[in-house]
């Protein structure tokens, strides 16, 4: 009984605060990550050699270095150069750049799947390269990339839990603090886990809804 009261009055309010911070981390990181991913993906397929190389190096770095290490560099490393990020900002920067690297790979694949003929047709109509990318190539590529990018969003929700390593106390951080005070590790982390599960399920529903809304004849997502 005492335990339930403790959970209801101490644990849940604190975890909800943490959850809110997590959501505040996830939303800008997911949006920025997607934008970076689209730019980098497009650069890796369509840009001239120097830009393409730069984008490839970006992906190699941010996909190749463990995210925790990246977080540490942004938060603990940059002050060495006189640049100070708040824990929150350091986390958003690290998550966006990492997420962007993964997104760019899904988007690159989708861009490569667009039939060359359609680009010829657009060019023959007098489209410039950017206009063609915007109105012909990307609308199709994004539809094809959606399942992969959705997957990346779900990863992001879970790796946002790393933010507490640089003292941005979000859901996992709150859980850790509560648990070390009360030693109720099992109960508290079960609740934390359930929170993440709910977030991921909501994201899954949202993605499914988007897939259905964006589905067109010829672009159906076949589910078996």
What does the binding site for another protein look like in residue numbers (CB under 8 A)? 115, 117-118, 120-128, 131, 135-136, 139-140, 143, 216-219
Rounded Cα distance, 201 and 163, in Å: 21
The two structure tokens encoding residue 187: 């109960």
Q: How far is the CB of 141 from another protein (least distance, A)?
A: 10
Q: How far is the CB of 142 from another protein (least distance, A)?
A: 10
H helices within 47-170, ranges in order?
49-64, 67-72, 87-113, 116-125, 129-132, 138-159
Yes or no: say if 208 and 146 are a contact pair by the CB < 8 Å rule.
no
Our CB check for another protein shows the closer of 4 and 124 to be 124
Q: How far is the CB of 214 from another protein (least distance, A)?
A: 9
Q: For 217, which DSSP code?
A: T
Our CB check for another protein shows the closer of 1 and 216 to be 216
The two structure tokens encoding residue 75: 């938060």
Our CB check for another protein shows the closer of 60 and 125 to be 125
Q: How far is the CB of 30 from another protein (least distance, A)?
A: 24
């Amino acid at each position: 009984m005492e335990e339930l009261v403790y959970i209801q009055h101490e644990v849940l309010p604190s975890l909800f605060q943490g959850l809110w911070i997590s959501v505040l981390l996830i939303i800008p990181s997911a949006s920025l990550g997607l934008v970076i991913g689209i730019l980098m993906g497009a650069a890796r397929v369509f840009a001239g050699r120097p830009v393409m190389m730069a984008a490839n190096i970006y992906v190699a770095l941010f996909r190749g270095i463990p995210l925790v290490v990246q977080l540490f560099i942004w938060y603990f490393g940059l002050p060495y150069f006189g640049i100070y990020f708040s824990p929150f900002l350091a986390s958003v920067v690290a998550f966006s750049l990492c997420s962007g690297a993964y997104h760019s790979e899904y988007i690159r694949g989708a861009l490569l799947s667009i039939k060359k003929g359609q680009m010829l047709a657009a060019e023959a109509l007098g489209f410039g390269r950017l206009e063609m990318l915007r109105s012909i190539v990307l609308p199709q590529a994004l539809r094809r990339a959606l399942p992969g990018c959705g997957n990346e969003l779900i990863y992001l929700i879970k790796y946002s839990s790393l933010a507490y390593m640089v003292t941005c106390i979000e859901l996992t951080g709150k859980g850790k603090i509560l648990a070390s005070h009360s030693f109720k590790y099992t109960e508290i982390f079960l609740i934390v886990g359930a929170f993440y599960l709910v977030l991921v399920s909501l994201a899954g529903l949202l993605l499914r809804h988007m897939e259905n809304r964006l589905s067109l004849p010829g672009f159906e997502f076949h589910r078996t």
